[in-house]
Chain A
Amino acid sequence: GQNIDQPTEMTATEGAIVQINCTYQTSGFNGLFWYQQHAGEAPTFLSYNVLDGLEEKGRFSSFLSRSKGYSYLLLKELQMKDSASYLCAVVSGYALNFGKGTSLLVTP
């Protein structure tokens, strides 16, 4: 079976740093994606990790530890427009299995 866990909600202040964690237990692993989804919109790609370590892309970074079944998405210098749902998704076989998403609220 597939089990992907993320916190349901998080709140952070504009300009701050926030870390969104994702733990997974899946039958097979071929990589992990993070997607951003604004309310009423489609998910958009943020990052992809297949090897252990940190991938940095501008204000966003993503980390993966395959042995621990763990990933996090790090958002720096938070902006109001970063308020959205962040979806962790694990590639297992041919399928992309999504977690329920973490709703992030950025406050002034």
Chain B
Amino acid sequence: EAGVAQSPRYKIIEKRQSVAFWCNPISGHATLYWYQQILGQGPKLLIQFQNNGVVDDSQLPKDRFSAERLKGVDSTLKIQPAKLEDSAVYLCASSLGGGQTGEQYFGPGTRLTVT
């Protein structure tokens, strides 16, 4: 079974530039998550999708971050414009069900450096 795929693996941009990350979850997984993990901290949930609907985006900085999962499969996360404090690893995860009790499978992450 293929795991969660993410691209790119690494990205370096200057502040005020835009960047987009892509995630393809495990086939058949209804729920998709985007997390931000700053060095030395645990992952912080940015947004959770159930199929193509948003379940929770309370911690997404909506003035600069956006995410979509149009066909209920893969997803993109965009930052526009980026700030220095956005430097982090962006993890995508998926789970079979609603995620409350289901194991989440994480992708390898995208390491973003904003200079």
Bound Cα distance from A87 to B101, whole angstroms: 16
Contact with A along B37-74 (1 / 0, CB 8 A): 00011111100100000011000000000000000000
State whether B45 touches A97 (Cβ < 8 A). Answer: yes
Bound Cα distance from A89 to B37, whole angstroms: 14
Interface size on A, residues (CB 8 A): 23
Q: Which residues from chain B contact A43 at a C-beta distance below 8 Å? A: 43, 91, 106
CB contacts between A and B, total, < 8 Å: 55
Q: Which residues from chain B contact A45 at a C-beta distance below 8 Å? A: 103-105
Given contacts A42-B108, A43-B106, contact A95 B42 (CB under 8 A): no
> Nearest-CB distance from A5 to chain B (Å)?
11
Interface size class of B (residues with CB under 8 A): 20 to 34
Given contacts A31-B101, A41-B108, contact A98 B48 (CB under 8 A): no
Interface of B is mostly: loop
Given contacts A30-B100, A50-B101, A87-B42, contact A95 B48 (CB under 8 A): yes
State whether B103 touches A98 (Cβ < 8 A). Answer: no
19 additional A-B residue pairs with CB within 8 Å, beyond A91-B100, A97-B45: A30-B101, A33-B103, A42-B91, A42-B106, A42-B107, A43-B43, A43-B106, A45-B103, A48-B103, A50-B101, A89-B42, A94-B48, A94-B56, A94-B100, A95-B48, A96-B45, A100-B40, A101-B41, A101-B42
